[in-house]
Structure 1
Amino acid sequence: MGNNHENLNTVFQALADPTRRAVIQHLTSGPASITELAEPFAMALPSFMKHIGVLEDAGLIHSKKIGRVRTCEIKPNQLTAAEKWINTQTSLWEGRLQRMASYVEARAAKGQDN
């Protein structure tokens, strides 16, 4: 279980940066070249490549080089694991909030009966 938490930590750290989130968003439409991915950002290519490296290290994307073109594509497994964790947390908190609302409503109803 510890390894899963480490993987999630790496994924969330990678997704904490807006540039990397934009790359992931772009890749949800399909594979793209590094040049295409870097185009919207005002940064040097070596700096952009560091972002690509972080996403690859987190297991969120995969890149391959064919000739002179490096193409990236999304790897959904880690995103699915992060989504599952978020959904679990959402369910837990929704349950807690529902129980609290029921408690407050019951207390209010008891106060009206007096």
Structure 2
Amino acid sequence: MTDLNPPPEKAKAAAEIKKILSGGKAHFPNPPDPTNPDPATLREQWRYAIRQYSRMYSHAWGTAILAGASFFALGWFIKGGNPLPSFGTHHDPPPPPSPADSTDEPRRA
């Protein structure tokens, strides 16, 4: 069963939406252009957007690299050595004992 009389809150919200969609007193901060701009203007806007995006992208990569280097240096300072064990000197396993060391006799000096 449908409700023929919606609550006043829903009715008010629906009336506001209808007013906005019908071109009533809706104030948008950036209203749409009444017509499409000419191709030269669109090309200029597109190039400007690409420049802005490229600038933000390079700033983001620069910040990420600088932060990584800073944290690596901070880890090196705190630890007193290389904080990344995978980049340190590789520890080879100890060599097997030689046959001369495997005798049970004590060594004589």
Considering the TM-score relative to the shorter chain, is it more than 0.5? no
Q: What TM-score do the two structures reach when normalised by structure 2?
A: 0.39
Task: Report the structure, 1 or 2, having the larger strand content.
Answer: 1
Greater Rg, structure 1 or structure 2?
A: 2
Q: Which has the higher contact order (CA 8 A, sep 6+)?
A: 1
